[in-house]
């Protein structure tokens, strides 16, 4: 059994979604723990001394059987899946496959290798306990269902799962430029006014490096199997305030176009309750929103001026 009360040093760690935003930051951070890091990606990647890449689709059961049999990981971080707030019916099947099917595949296979700690990355979109349990999007439904399956595997098959609920993550190297902060920052760098909704929605923003530290804490803390931990700041800040701050850092002469886009239906306003994360994981966020935005804008400024320096 993976002994979570000792450092990760020497362990074999498998990261699904390792080529994604959080996944790449996590793999970089894990290098400090002297672990064997195996990353799963649908697209072929070049392995290095820091990370050994395995090509496969987490939603494909046989792909994952091959990978897990080959690696026999001591711990798994499951980050794979397409993150989208889209409400359209065309998002239903893709989120079902990339989140729910991939999670069930992984948990089913790991039940054959009992004792390995699995850290799942959930979403703020998942309904709170006691809330009206109506998911607000196909993505939210898939994440919520994945969490339910995880609890079943925990209780029926004694699979050591730790669930995290990750709030709105931002930071350097988020390469999906449709996301709010990359979109606003790059628009301003280009001299264009970003088109936005009203900006009134309140969000719990969390810097990517803080999320990574929370995930690693969830992999190591003893006796937390079956628990759910919020990884957020515990503070709500409206979108308009974040946009204004980026505006001041990049180009104050450009006025963002608030109200140019309609509001998405059923947007959720949730704040992280990090009390359990602090007491049981020994984790709390360290990077303030102002510091995190400054680091993020600096990265995108460098990327805008010289993309090659930031994508190697």
Is residue 160 within 8 Å of 115, Cβ to Cβ? yes
Average pLDDT over residues 37-44: 89
**Higher pLDDT residue, 115 or 197?**
197
Per-residue pLDDT tens for 223-252?
999 999 999 999 999 999 999 999 999 999
The reported pLDDT for the residue numbered 5 is: 40
Per-residue pLDDT tens for 46-75?
777 688 999 999 999 999 999 999 999 999
Residues in CB range of 292: below 8 A, 6 or more apart: 170, 171, 205, 207
Superfamily classification of domain 12-309:
NAD(P)-binding Rossmann-like Domain (3.40.50.720)
Alpha-carbon 182 to chain mean position: 16
Q: Are strands 237-238 and 161-166 parallel, antiparallel or unpaired?
A: unpaired
The number of residues making up the chain comes to 312
Residue 297 pLDDT level (bands cut at 50, 70, 90): very high
38 in helix, strand or coil?
A: strand
The reported pLDDT for the residue numbered 114 is: 65
The reported pLDDT for the residue numbered 124 is: 86
Give 166's strand partners: 123, 231
Per-residue pLDDT tens for 169-188?
999 999 989 999 999 999 99
What does R_g of the chain's alpha carbons equal in angstroms? 19
Task: Evaluate if residue 137 carries a pLDDT over 50.
Answer: yes
Is residue 42 within 8 Å of 23, Cβ to Cβ? no
Task: Evaluate if residue 199 carries a pLDDT over 60.
Answer: yes
The reported pLDDT for the residue numbered 81 is: 79
Residue 189, classified by CB atoms within 10 Å of its CB into exposed (0-12), middle (13-18) or buried (19+), is middle
Report the distance separating Cα 228 and Cα 127, nearest Å: 13
Per-residue pLDDT tens for 72-131?
999 999 998 777 777 888 888 888 888 899 999 999 999 987 668 899 998 888 777 666
The reported pLDDT for the residue numbered 33 is: 87
Is residue 78 within 8 Å of 121, Cβ to Cβ? yes
The reported pLDDT for the residue numbered 6 is: 43
Report the distance separating Cα 164 and Cα 154, nearest Å: 14
Domain boundaries, the chain: 12-309
Residue 4 pLDDT level (bands cut at 50, 70, 90): very low
Report the chain's mean pLDDT, rounded to a whole number: 90
What token pair was written down for 99?
């989140």
The reported pLDDT for the residue numbered 8 is: 77
Specify the residue for token string 């929605």: 201
């Amino acid at each position: 059994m993976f002994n979570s009360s000792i450092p990760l040093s020497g362990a074999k760690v498998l990261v699904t979604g390792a080529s994604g935003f959080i996944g790449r930051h996590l793999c970089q951070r894990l290098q400090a723990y002297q672990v064997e890091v195996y990353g799963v990606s649908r697209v072929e990647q070049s392995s290095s001394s820091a990370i050994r890449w395995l090509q496969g689709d987490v939603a494909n059961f046989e792909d994952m059987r091959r990978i897990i049999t080959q690696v026999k990981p001591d711990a798994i971080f499951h980050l794979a899946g397409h993150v989208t707030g889209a409400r359209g019916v065309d998002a239903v099947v893709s989120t079902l496959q990339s989140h729910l099917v991939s999670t069930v595949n992984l948990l089913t296979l790991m039940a054959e290798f009992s004792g390995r700690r699995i850290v799942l990355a959930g979403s703020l979109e998942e309904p709170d306990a006691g809330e009206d349990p109506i998911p607000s999007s196909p993505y939210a439904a898939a994440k919520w269902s994945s969490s339910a399956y995880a609890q079943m595997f925990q209780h029926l098959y004694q699979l050591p799962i730790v669930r995290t609920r990750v709030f709105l993550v931002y930071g350097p190297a988020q390469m999906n430029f449709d996301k709010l902060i990359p979109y606003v920052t790059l628009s301003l760098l280009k001299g264009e006014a970003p088109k936005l909704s009203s900006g009134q929605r309140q969000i719990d923003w969390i810097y990517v490096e803080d999320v990574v530290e929370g995930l690693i804490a969830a992999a190591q803390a003893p006796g937390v199997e079956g628990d759910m931990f919020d990884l957020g700041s515990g503070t709500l800040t409206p979108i308009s305030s974040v946009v204004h701050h980026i505006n001041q850092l990049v180009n104050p002469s450009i006025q963002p176009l608030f109200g140019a886009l309609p509001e998405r239906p059923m947007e959720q306003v949730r704040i992280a309750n990090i009390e359990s994360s602090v007491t049981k994981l020994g984790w709390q966020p360290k990077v303030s929103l102002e510091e995190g935005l400054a680091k993020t804008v600096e990265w995108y400024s460098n990327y805008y001026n010289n993309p090659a320096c930031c994508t190697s």
